[in-house]
Structure 1
């Protein structure tokens, strides 16, 4: 029992020990569990802190494997971080895991791999900046060799920072710095290149900086020398130096601007100088050369005075109003047209008051609502364009008013008296209508062409003459289009060019030409081009179909008459020998019989022989006349040139006709200056011509009548000429009888037809006198006699 008891006790003790050990184990386990839970909570907190940290850790092993957080994968644009560093540049289209096709550019991945490899080999840290594809994010990398407790031996740890905001701010600050530096450089260059002198003074007024224009203006060597010597551009004005004026500007804290005169390059120039305080830094200044502006101002004032003097000479009224609507200038025509009073010239009125004064003088139109009308005219000052209107006045005057708003708010008013112009315009319209009516009433077809070849005016006969459509002419066609229509109606279309040449010669070459064309319908048109004073050309067209036919017929008859006349001339020339030979033989035999060579003749025989000789002499004279006349008409009359004393020559002709004069029982007077001089001519033929005139006068005067022959010398058209006048107081002749006598014709027995030439006296006398370069005029009145006047050179 004792052994059992002991065993039970031992067993109890053993169980108690186990219980104690189990309790202790439980306590220790519970404590460890609490520590483990605390460590887990701490690990989770650290992990969360690492995930929320602005820096993410990227672990790169020696074999290129990488480890990192999901947040880093999101920064790089991946859903899950790749296993290897080179896969950061994977192409999603080829099975990569990049989100949205992002990742890193291949060149940045290569740069990162090279930096990591260098760090793993040399333990040298590195810094990089990466920009994921398709993202504005900027990642800053700080890499170094990893601690063995953190990563495997030889691994590199890379801390990745999201530096997007800082990088953006830095980029902005760099851009602003670069812009400020660029602006400052540009400003310095601008100041240096400025054509006007510029300078900067310190607070005490001493020069600190000057530009090239300043150095050039003061004639210095360079800017440094000018600043060191304190060379001033501005002279002392009113006892104040430029430095003192600058100090006044700095003390007042406001710019001081003034206009002064100074000497630059030996010339006196006007400058506008501005001193601008720049706080405590100093005072800047610049000077603008306004000499040209001042000169322009003086020129403008002189121009304005000259313009106003010129406006006084215009026939149109011109007035100027300033921005306050007050009259500042009005020339003499304006004062007269608007009936201005002398007081208005001395004290210029407002625009509205001027209109009232003009209304009182009846120089504005009559209207029902005058105040509203005046307000509308006052609105011309605010108009944006030129205003123009007509003012018909009650006295019949028509004024044209033009209002030109000025840029300074004033107004330029021009008034022109158009009364005479409108009257002339009305007269012109009347003349145009008259011209149109005149054109349409002409028998000729006419058209007026402008220098560019376009038809301006035409009458109705023009379209009818060429067979053109009136609607086509109404389009004012050019000559080229007109010729195309005309060519289709010509017998020879190529002749249309001649019409165009005539129009061109009249409009451009300013000369008259003409031509003639035949139409396809058998008509013949004659046209001519005449240049007009206004630069246009006139084309006249006349239908000469009938006259052409008559002309052709006359030409045929004339050719027949010419041939007959030539036959007559040849006949007379050939037969003159035949006439003279037998007549000479008859005269010779008769003279032999008269001389008694054929034996003694009885008294009747002697009378017969005398009659034969008289007839032979008369027939010889007629033959000579016929030959002279025929040769003269043919232009083959031979003339001798001898000196002829005029008075003895005419006296001899009268003496030869003494017997006839005595037998006729008439009074014959010969008057003239024996010193009338001499002429050159053929005495025989000239004597025959004057003798015929004397014979006709003797034959025309009845018994008891009177014949006068008068000689004189006078100047005609600057030349000395001899005049022989043969006049009688016979019955005279009317105009028709005189014309027939000069033509050698007389009326037939029926009183209607003309017979052949019966007398050759006057025609032969005219031919012979004209052959000597003279002129024969015959004047005759029934009951007053006949006068023949011979003019010889």
Structure 2
């Protein structure tokens, strides 16, 4: 029982172990199965991946056998994968003989030396490009020194590579051309890095900064442009890079020792850096300054014109209007500051009444706007409502603009009308003259004449209407002259006036007894004027006047001899009478009674008085005859007048008058004159004042000086407070002795004192003025230079 139990236990344990072993075996088999299935799946996946991969393996064994997937045969254009490497060339498909030979050589070298290789092959009849990369196969893959060649289909990549190579070649060519272009560019060009430092400059840049070469300029960082407003050229370039916008500015730089204006541009090149270039615009700036100066000068000149000028640009906008145009079209300063377009300008002028009235204004305005497209200048006359006549000239410009010229011709039309009137007036005036006239052109043809000309020369109007030549005219004139050859003198006068521009004259006698005097006068227009005057009557009157003049000359000689004889004949008896009276008074003829003495004294007083009258008559006669002699010398006026007053002091006292002498030597000054005759003139004025002033009256004598037209004159005023005179009495007092109207007798006036005083003062170059009113007295004002 015990054994049986042991056996049973053993059997159970054996069965349990067997069961465990069977379960273990089943589990392990299951695991191996799963591993096998996973391996198969992995193999299938790897095979599929190899089939789908862009690279296919080609295993070349040492004996020349090959293993490869079917896809490689398809790439090579073969139906199946051959067994040996040499079968890859079938003659019409597969690799070419050269490619196969190269592949075979490379494979054998790799099998022997384990050196990898690369090559490119293109199967026959295919555009497929295959890249072969070979190396020694791993012993686990194929023992015995097989070569594993990976085949890549890079047809697309090859196209891209070809394209890229072509583009790269083109880019290299373009870059080389661009570099050459930049290097040959006449303007400075440069390239900066992201830090703003120069990395590339062209030869123009090097020449502009006077550098040695581009490398030294880049190394030194020599800048072409100076700092402006504290910003260097590198800082401005960095600003352009930060803003990712190009910056263009106008700066000045010194190039070849001269300041030049440059337009500098900095262009950010995204991530590559900043490019820059500088264009020399100094010539443009100078041209702009010259153009601005020319435009300003032109506009200043246009402002001085009398005609209005306005300029419009291609947009029909007013760009300039001179002052006459502004006045003519009533433009305000606001219109000048904000220039209107052409159509708006017409509207403004229409509102101001400065355009002509039009039935359809809109159509009229459109018609004027077509001036901009016209091929030639347009000219119109605009009559305005206020009577103004304006001439308009519209000149289209090549740039599409327009120049409008407006000329106010109102005055010209008025002058034209006045000219027509003057021409008609001249014709009527010529025909009304007593003097005959004719106008000849430089070619000798008659242009104008009056009716008197035809009458004086006895010419037919029909002949003159043909405007005859001077030669034809002379033939007609010669037939009417007393001496026909004298007609040539008329032609010479006309020729001198028209061609020589000289004024000459002459005189001819007609066969009918008349005498004509003619003269040629050059006219400003180049013509010559021939004036003819009938002097027959004047010749007769001249002869009569010549005879009468001879008689007058003889009478003047008689008068001169009479004055000389009268001076002798009057003074000699008077001197004898005075001498005998003085002898009687001295007692040489015996003693005289008291009555006799009174008679002698009266005779002497009368002799003295008569002597003065004779002197006055002689001086007055000589003065009126113009032969009064003057002995001029310098006279101190104040002592001179004082002496005259002192000589009349007894008479003043007897008349119980008061005389006031005002002035001094400094204020009276000196004059140039004849003391004797000037003393007689002032003495007569004093005597008249003494005689005209009643007892107890007052006489004022005042000496002074004053300016007359810048010249220093002396003034002597002698006034009294006597009864005065009215205008008639004053005229008679100044008259004195005068020759009668028939020249044969002498009229006596109111004494000789005042007339003689006036004659003597005027003989000294001075003036005498008498002022008098009844009851107010009389004042005599003498002014002497």
Q: TM-score scaled by structure 1?
A: 0.48
Bigger CA radius of gyration: 2
Q: TM-score scaled by structure 2?
A: 0.48
